[in-house]
Amino acid sequence: MTNAVIGPDQRALCDHLRSARFQAGVDAGRWRLISITWPHALIAISAAPRKGAPEEFVLRFELSGYPASAPTGCPWDVGQDAILLAGQRPKGSRVGHIFRPDWEGGRALYAPWDRLALAHGGWADKYPMYAWNARRDLSFYLTNVHDALNNDDYLGI
């Protein structure tokens, strides 16, 4: 990724992708960058092993205005280049709720670190430990998703 003729949001993302926090996650196998076609980025996040379930789930991020504006991540089927179908989404009490397909057509995660969900009235105040703000970075988002996908209540798909 070059810094030639790019906006401050894309530059901020590039800087973060080089950061120790993001790179440590890559080295630990927690997530990996697949591609960037600004303002979108495909990032795969690893999941705990479950019978019949994939080793990772992909989010297609829209990152306009990053980091002042929160990222929004759409569960994505890379092979189909389309939104991930309900039957292919992670199941489990907490993670299933975060990846719920019945809210906004399933095009964002139902969690206060996501731009669309954060638009819920009062979520920033109700869930301050999880809510996005301009001091966060993409690894904050990825860490929360990785935690949900590796929790004991994750059941597979």
Q: What is the contact surface with other proteins in residues (CB under 8 A)?
A: 19-21, 23-25, 27-28, 93-94, 97-98, 110-112, 117, 120, 123, 127-130, 133, 140, 143, 147, 151-153
H or E stretch including 156?
strand 154-156
Nearest approach, Cβ of 79 to other proteins (angstroms)? Answer: 29
In DSSP notation, 53-110 reads --SEEEEEEE-TTTTTSPPEEEEEETTTTEEPPGGGS-EEHHHHHHT-TTSGGG-S-S
- How many Cα atoms within 13 Å fall on the side-chain side of residue 92? 20
- Please say which residue, 38 or 130, places its beta carbon nearer to other proteins: 130
State in angstroms the smallest separation of the CB of 45 from other proteins: 14
Closer residue to other proteins in complex, CB, 77/147: 147
User: Considering the complex, what minimum distance in angstroms separates the CB of residue 24 from other proteins?
Assistant: 6
